[in-house]
Structure 1
Amino acid sequence: MKNISEQWSDLKPRMGAGAAMVVIGLTGIALGGTVFHLLVALICGVMVWELVGMLRPGVRHVQLQLGGLTGLAVFASIYLPAGFALPLLLAPALVGFGYLARNRSVYISFTVMILLSGYGMMQIRDDLGFGWMLWLVLVVVVTDVVGYFAGRLIGGPKFWPAVSPKKTWSGTAAGWVGAAIVGLIFSINTGVGIQLMGVSVAVSMASQIGDIAESGMKRKMGVKDSSNLIPGHGGLMDRFDGMLGASLFLLVIGQAIGFPYGLG
């Protein structure tokens, strides 16, 4: 019984903090516009603040400067033509390059991913509306939640024990199934076609790649969580790593498939 209680020991704080994040997130998505832009900019700024804290701990002013610069860049980018937004979105990555004596490639890679993902989320909400932003969030959340419970209930071979010892193949595959179901429901209600199931699974995989990438980076830095901001979850980067991968993937692939209009 002790092993079972330990296995689920993080469930209660995860559920409480998760519920609060759902309420805040859904409110921001529903309101859209400037409110959603500010929420995304704040999240991106905090994630870079956490990132710098892991890569160069103890230098708070650098964390605040780069986190603040990231938030401002993300917020301003959505109000500019794409040609002017792109260099603005890359600027915080290059500015931070001079602040870090090591781990520069890690900083640049994750910062660019954070900035472009934030821009992608704002673009989806502004251009495609509440429904498609909700679809993206649901794919990522269902992938994470279904994977969490399936991994603990079913168990089995580990996905990548050296990097993420708790993740199993059963949980990973269950996340794909959950995402496919989300895609099926939205395809029925939007009329875009059954291919949305495949796109949903691909977005699910991209979210898992984002999760794995962050896990690998934390393992390299020797830290368990990106910060301790959220009880039971760690930091914002720990909760939004999947959204980073999913949003960035959709930002790129959406142009190729004409999302969502090319799915019919």
Structure 2
Amino acid sequence: MSSAGRWGDLGERLGVGAAMAVVALICVWVGGWLFTAMTVGICAVITWELVRMLDPEAPAMRLGIVVGLALAAESVLPTGYALLLLAVPVFYGVATINEHRLTYALYATLIQLAGLGLIFLRLDDGITWMLWLALVVIVTDVFGYVFGRLIGGPKMWTRVSPNKTWSGTIAGWIGAAVVGGVFAAILGVTSELVPISIVLSMAGQVGDVAESAVKRRAGVKDSSALLPGHGGLFDRFDGMLGASVLLLLITPLIGFPFPVAG
């Protein structure tokens, strides 16, 4: 592949990525209802994209709205009621679509859990930990993209994701470790933040590969064409989906968030 072909989409990716980053940073900084609204909207759009890939004949817009409304309600309900409500979009979707029902059920559950995890992280633990998680996922993605194309080498899983290389994958882990080390040093928290950052990086990569498997089964390159140079929101937030769900699940085990010095 020529240099121009290898980096031909970089300018467009950077421009759209910068615009997305500005909007996301504003929402993260303000927090509250604005961050919740952004998260609910993203989860609704991701569901719409997912359903369009799984079953083009299904009412994707309606299912996206159902997931968004359910997530908005779950974010303010007591935990028990929220967990019960989480099942509503799952069963409604299974009864509505005709193809790949199990895949939909799994993703509809994970999308809601990821949304709840992000909302609770920002509202309960503050902007610092939200930025840490976001940077772990972003740096993993950026390092994987840049170093995977610079170094190349053996492919990680050609049948599912033909562009993923082991060099990019390992570079993503290293980038996440750096993010964890920097935050641990600045905040004065335990060095365990470094391996935890690597584990979340891996979870993000699993989310990326899982979405690639869905796209390959659907025979599409991108989840949608909403974001020039990036594809759809699912393409951009697949890593955050995996990382945020894992963080939500392991939080009781690791005693997160860690006490901040000072």
Fold-level similarity (TM above 0.5):
yes
TM-score (norm 2): 0.97
Give the drift of 1:25: 0.7
Give the drift of 1:90: 2.3
Match of 2:239 in 1: 242
Give the drift of 1:260: 2.2
Query: Which amino acid is the alignment partner of residue 27 of structure 1?
Result: I
Q: Secondary structure at the match of 2:229?
A: coil
Q: Does 1:9 align with 2:8?
A: yes
Query: Which amino acid is the alignment partner of residue 111 of structure 2?
Result: I
Query: Which amino acid is the alignment partner of residue 30 of structure 1?
Result: W
- Aligned partner of 2:249 among 249, 252, 258: 252
Match of 2:148 in 1: 151
- Aligned partner of 1:137 among 134, 149, 157: 134
Distance in structure 1 (CA, Å) of the matches to 2:87 and 2:229: 32
Q: Secondary structure at the match of 2:96?
A: coil
Match of 1:44 in 2: 43
Q: How many residues align?
A: 261
- Flag as ranges the 4+ runs of structure 1 deviating above 4 A: none
Q: Answer yes or no: is the 8 Å Cα contact 2:148–2:165 preserved in 1.
A: yes
Distance in structure 1 (CA, Å) of the matches to 2:211 and 2:144: 17
- Aligned partner of 1:211 among 196, 208, 212: 208
Distance in structure 1 (CA, Å) of the matches to 2:208 and 2:170: 15
Distance in structure 1 (CA, Å) of the matches to 2:86 and 2:15: 33
Query: Which amino acid is the alignment partner of residue 73 of structure 1?
Result: A
Q: Answer yes or no: is the 8 Å Cα contact 2:143–2:172 preserved in 1.
A: yes
Q: Answer yes or no: is the 8 Å Cα contact 2:114–2:244 preserved in 1.
A: yes
Give the drift of 1:237: 0.3
CA RMSD of aligned residues (A): 1.3
Query: Which amino acid is the alignment partner of residue 92 of structure 1?
Result: P
Match of 2:188 in 1: 191
Q: Answer yes or no: is the 8 Å Cα contact 1:192–1:260 preserved in 2.
A: no
Identity across the alignment (%): 51
Query: Which amino acid is the alignment partner of residue 64 of structure 1?
Result: M
Give the drift of 1:75: 1.3
Encode CA deviations 1:179-201: one digit per residue, 9 max, x unaligned. Answer: 00000010011121111000000
Q: Which runs of 5+ in 2 are unaligned?
A: none
Distance in structure 2 (CA, Å) of the matches to 1:67 and 1:101: 16
Q: Does 1:175 align with 2:187?
A: no
Give the drift of 1:74: 1.1
Q: Which runs of 5+ in 1 are unaligned?
A: none
Query: Which amino acid is the alignment partner of residue 39 of structure 2?
Result: V
Encode CA deviations 1:143-192: one digit per residue, 9 max, x unaligned. Answer: 00011000000111001111111110000000000000000010011121
Distance in structure 2 (CA, Å) of the matches to 1:67 and 1:110: 12
Distance in structure 2 (CA, Å) of the matches to 1:253 and 1:29: 22
